[in-house]
A and B are shown apart, each in its own frame.
Chain A
Amino acid sequence: MEGANVNKIDSLIDKAQYIRATVFKMICEGGGGHIPASLSIVEILVVLYYEVLNISPETISDPDRDRFILSKGHACAALYAVLANCGFIDKQWLSTFGKRGTILGGHPDMHKIPGVEATTGALGHGFPFGVGAALAGKMDGRKYRVIVLMGDGECQEGSVWEAAMFASAMALDNLCVIIDHNRLQAMDTLDNIVPISPLAEKWQAFGWQVNEVDGHDIAGLIEKFTALPFQANKPSLIIANTIKGKGVSFMEGVPIWHYRMPNGEEMAVACNELGIDPL
C-alpha cells in the first residue's frame, strides 16, 4: 500500500512538472500572461483535479459535481493546462492562449471554456461567488463541495472579508478556500505594501478552521484535502505556502516578473530548468 502511494505521488509530481513546463510554454508562445502567479499554484491544481475534486469532462453540468473556482483568475494558464490534461478541453487549444480567436483568454470565461465554473479576473469576486454556490448546496442538501483558490494579495480586497464573515455565519463546512500564500503582489512583497499577516489568526478570528501546508508538497496537500472539512459547521481555510515563479530560478520570489516576459537568454535558462526544448 505504501508502495502504491509512493507511486501515486511520484506520478503526480511528474504531472506537476509537465504542467509547469506547459504553462511556461503556452504563455511565452501565446499572447503573454502571468507566469509566476501560475507557477505557484501548479501542485495545488494537480492534486485537486487528480485526487480531490469530484468532477470530470462528463459531469461538468452535473448539479452534484464539486465546484472549483479560481478566484485569482490571472493564474488561469495553470488551470487551462490542467483542464487540457484532464480532458475538459482540447490540448491543442493551449497553443492558442491569449491569441486572436482563442477561447483561452488571459482571464477564464465560464461561458466559453468547459470546466470553468466562474469568470474571474477582478480580484475579490470568485470567493464570494463560491460562497453562493456553497450556500445553494446547503439549501438543497447536496453533497458537493466548493473549493476556491485565492491569492494572498487578493486578501487586501474588502469583499474577501465580507464573504469570510458571511461564510462562517452560514456555517458553510462544504466550502474550502485555499490561499496561495506566495507573499508577493504585482509591485512588491505584501509586507512592503500592505501586510496581511497574521493571516491564519485573521481567518480564525473570522470563524474559519485554518490549516497550513507547503503548497508544493503533493503528499502534504493530499493529506489536508482528505481531512476536509476541518471542523463541522465551519468553513475551511488552507494557507498554502508557495513560491511565486516556482521552477524558474530567476523568477522565484522576484516581484518584477509578475507580468513580464523573459528575453531570449532568460528563456533558454528557464527552458533548461523546466526540462523542455528551447522555445
Chain B
Amino acid sequence: MRNAYIEALYELAAEDGRVLALVADNGAIVYDKFRAAYPGRFINFGIAEANMISVAAGLASCGKIPFAYTIASFLTMRAFEQIRNDVCLQKMNVKLAGIGAGFVYSSLGPTHHATVDIAIMRTLPGMTVFCPSSPMEARKITKEAARIDGPVYIRLSVGGSPEIYEGGYEFITGKGVMLKHGGDAAIITTGGITTEALKAHDELKKRGINVQVINIHTIKPLDSEIIIAAAQMTGAIITVEEHSIIGGLGSAAAEVIAEAGVRTRFKRIGLKGVFAEGHGTYDDVKEQNGLSAADIVRETVECLNIKLPS
C-alpha cells in the first residue's frame, strides 16, 4: 500500500507542479525515485511532525498541494492541533498520509500503532478520511485525494499488503464496495484487515453461513446507504476494524443504523478500548488482539445467535 501511494504521488508530481512530498525523517529508499526526479519538491522536516503540518498549511496557502507523510500515530496525534487549526480550520489543501495503520508495526508496540486515528480524524470539519484496503485501492485513493480541494487523510498499511481486487473496479469517494454477497449477515470492514474478513467469509461459507463483505474505503463521507441496506437485508451487522471500537468504523456504522431506526443485531470487532497487546509478526499481533479470521468467524456466529426482542 505504501509503495502504491508513493508511486501514485510520483505520477501526480509529474502531472502537477504544485504537488509536494513532505516527510518527517522517513521514506528512505521508497522515496528515492521521487527525490531523484523532483529534488526541490521533496522536503524532509526531520523529527518534527507538528512543524511539518503547520508549514504544509502555509505552503498550501500559497497554492502548493503538500502530501505530508509519516507514521500515522505521530501524524494524527502529535500534530493533531496543527491539523485541526492550520489545515482544517483554515480550509487548506493539505493531504495527510499516515503509514502503519492499526498494528501493522506489530512488535514496535503501541507507540507505533495507529488505533484511534480514524476516530480523531473523522471528527475534524472538512476532513475526508480514506482507509484503502489494498495496493490498487491506495493508488486510486491517492489520485482521488489530489482531485479533492481540501484536507484528506489517507490511512496506509506499510508494505506487502495483498491485492484483494481481481481486475479493475470503479472507485467512488464515499461509496462502499460489496466484495462478497450473502444474506445471513454483513461484515463491514475497512483497511488492511479486509483480508481477514474475506478469509472469515470463506470459512463461514464452508459452515453454510453466507455473509456479505463490504469494504468501506471512505470513512468520511460514510456510505450510509450500503450500511443501512445491509442491516435491513441481513439483520446482522458485524464491523471489523484494525482500530479501537470506540469512534471508528463500528461507531460510525452504529450511528447511521441507529439514526435510520433499523432493527438489527450488531457487533463491533476491534480493540475493545485497550492498547494492542503482544509482540511478534503482524499476524501474531492480530491473533493476540482478536482480529484474526478465526476471531471474526467466532464473533459472527455469536452475533447470529443473539435473539432480537420481538
Contact = CB atoms under 8 A, between A and B. Distances in A.
A168 to B, nearest CB: 12
A131 B91 CA distance: 18
Contacts of A2: none
Interface size class of B (residues with CB under 8 A): 20 to 34
A134 B57 CA distance: 12
A136 B59 contact: yes
B182 to A, nearest CB: 47
A133 B61 contact: yes
Interface in B59-82: 59-64, 81-82
B46 A139 contact: no
A206 interface: no
Contact of B50 (A134, A139, A162): A162
A255 interface: no
Contacts of B45: 166
A45 B43 CA distance: 33
Interface residues of A, number: 29
B242 to A, nearest CB: 30
Contacts of B50: 128, 158-159, 162
B38 to A, nearest CB: 11
Contacts of A158: 50
Interface in A98-149: 110-111, 117-119, 121-122, 125, 127-137, 139-140
B54 interface: yes
Interface string B44-59: 0110101100111111
Contacts of A137: 62
Contact of A136 (B48, B63, B90): B63
Interface in A153-176: 158-159, 162-163, 165-166, 169
Nearest to B82: A125
Nearest to B91: A111
A73 to B, nearest CB: 10
Contacts, number: 87
A158 B54 CA distance: 13
Contacts of B25: none
Nearest to A128: B54
Given A125-B82, A132-B62, A110 B54 contact: no
A129 B51 contact: no
Contacts of B51: 128, 131, 159, 162-163, 166
A57 interface: no
A136 B91 contact: no
A129 B62 contact: no
Nearest to A111: B91
A132 B60 contact: yes
Interface string B262-289: 0000000000000000000000000000
A140 B91 contact: no
B40 interface: yes
Contacts of A127: 54
B82 to A, nearest CB: 7
B84 to A, nearest CB: 9
A132 B56 CA distance: 6
A63 interface: yes
A165 B48 contact: yes
Interface string A166-191: 10010000000000000000000000
Contacts of A110: 90
Interface of A: 63, 110-111, 117-119, 121-122, 125, 127-137, 139-140, 158-159, 162-163, 165-166, 169
**Nearest 6 A-B pairs (CB), nearest first?**
A132-B58, A128-B54, A136-B62, A162-B51, A132-B55, A162-B48
13 contacts: A125-B86, A128-B51, A129-B55, A129-B57, A130-B58, A132-B60, A133-B59, A137-B62, A139-B40, A139-B41, A159-B54, A166-B45, A166-B46
Given A130-B58, A166-B51, 13 more contacts: A63-B62, A111-B90, A127-B54, A128-B86, A131-B51, A131-B58, A132-B54, A132-B60, A133-B58, A135-B59, A136-B59, A139-B64, A166-B46
Interface of B: 40-41, 43, 45-46, 48, 50-51, 54-64, 81-82, 85-86, 89-91
